[in-house]
Amino acid sequence: MRAVVLVGGFGTRLLPLTLSIPKPMLPVGHVPIIERLVAQLGRGGISDVTLALGFKPEPFVEAFPSGECGGVALHYAVEPQPLDTAGAIRFAATASGIDETFVVVNGDVLTDLDVAQLVRFHRDRGAEATLHLIAVPDPSAFGVVALDGEDRVERFVEKPAPGTAPSNLVNAGTYVLEPSVLRRIPGDEKISIERATFPAIADGRGLFGLATDDYWIDTGQPEFYLQANLDVLAGLRRNDRCQAVHPDANVDGTATIENALIGPGATVGAGAVVRRTVVLSGAAIGEGAAVTDSVIMGQVGPNASVHDCVIGATGVIGSGEHLHHQRRPQPAPK
């Protein structure tokens, strides 16, 4: 079976990390998100993945020069301009000649869902489209569904105002679609599957949802990107684990690394303390610095203290500086 993975978004909520690396290429447990995602699809019987690319396509093509990732064949569809989720699915599926039931995944979602289970459920219901659903405490930031007694989606509401959500079951970003869904999407137009296509399919009674309690995280915001890394480190993923310190990292023997990941080529100086933090490839933490609850791609000077910060590749924290709850460089105002 074939899948389309959406990887063409701007990743604005993860700025400034996404200034230099597109979101799905950011590492979780030292491995790019897209690689973990494609490997999980392969375990569920997906043989071919088309990456729906737009913004910054080159890093994907360069990362997988053989056109293969974890035993799954990769194809690339590069949009001439951003088409939003439905437009991107139509463009990528058409470009790669998909004309059978297929799977779609948001490129920033990590889950232990067995996609073969979702496909079986879809076929058993005779669905036109099937969503993977997850129960969350606060659904207001997601697409929320109301199901009837036969798992049919009665209503699909994208990001309802707090307190108005019809349930706590949300769209978890993995779908099974019939090719007829493509004919619902006007060509070459910017259009959202969440706001336009799913509500229309629900109106025609063809949209179903399978709720599971598999591991699931949307890595699109800094706190969740950090959490996804800590989860792999803690062994919470069924098939994935990682070491805290990558063998190619350079960590001084007197540094303290607690519940943190240090990527290849990163350095941590003498006496530095790093807790609940991801130090990405190429980053440097100076001697005596204290870094907590942060994601670091840039440079942290000696004896600086950094808490709850996101530091991009060009971000520099000066010697002895104290930084709390900030992004460097600061994203430009919209």
Instruction: Using CB under 6 A, list all residues that contact ligand GTP.
Output: 6-13, 23, 52-54, 79, 82-85, 88, 106-108, 220
SS3 of the chain: helix, strand, coil, percent, to 5: 25, 30, 45
Q: Please give the single-letter amino acid code of residue 159.
A: K
Q: Which one, 152 or 159, has the nearer CB to ligand GTP?
A: 159
Classify residue 150 as exposed, middle or buried by CB count within 10 Å of its CB (0-12, 13-18, 19+).
Answer: exposed
Torsion angle defined by CA atoms of residues 82, 295, 332 and 318, in that order, rounded to the nearest 10 degrees: -150
**Nearest distance from residue 176's CB to ligand GTP, in Å?**
17
**Nearest distance from residue 134's CB to ligand GTP, in Å?**
15
Which residues make beta-bridge pairs with 109? 218
Under DSSP, is residue 23 helix (H, G, I), strand (E, B) or coil? helix
For 87-139, give the DSSP string.
HHHHHHHHHTT--S-EEEEETTEEE---HHHHHHHHHHHT-SEEEEEEE-S-G
Q: Which one, 40 or 303, has the nearer CB to ligand GTP?
A: 40
**Nearest distance from residue 249's CB to ligand GTP, in Å?**
28
Count other Cβ atoms within 10 Å, centred on residue 189: 12
**Nearest distance from residue 171's CB to ligand GTP, in Å?**
10
Q: Which one, 84 or 240, has the nearer CB to ligand GTP?
A: 84
What angle is formed at CA 307 by the lines to CA 302 and CA 313, rounded to 5 degrees?
A: 65
Q: Do the beta carbons of residue 176 and residue 93 sit within 8 Å?
A: no
**Nearest distance from residue 27's CB to ligand GTP, in Å?**
16
**Nearest distance from residue 145's CB to ligand GTP, in Å?**
17
Q: Which one, 141 or 270, has the nearer CB to ligand GTP?
A: 141
DSSP summary character for residue 34 = H
Q: Which one, 8 or 288, has the nearer CB to ligand GTP?
A: 8
CA distance 52 to 77: 5
Q: Do the beta carbons of residue 54 and residue 78 sit within 8 Å?
A: yes
Q: Which one, 83 or 201, has the nearer CB to ligand GTP?
A: 83
Q: Which one, 222 or 286, has the nearer CB to ligand GTP?
A: 222
**Nearest distance from residue 121's CB to ligand GTP, in Å?**
22
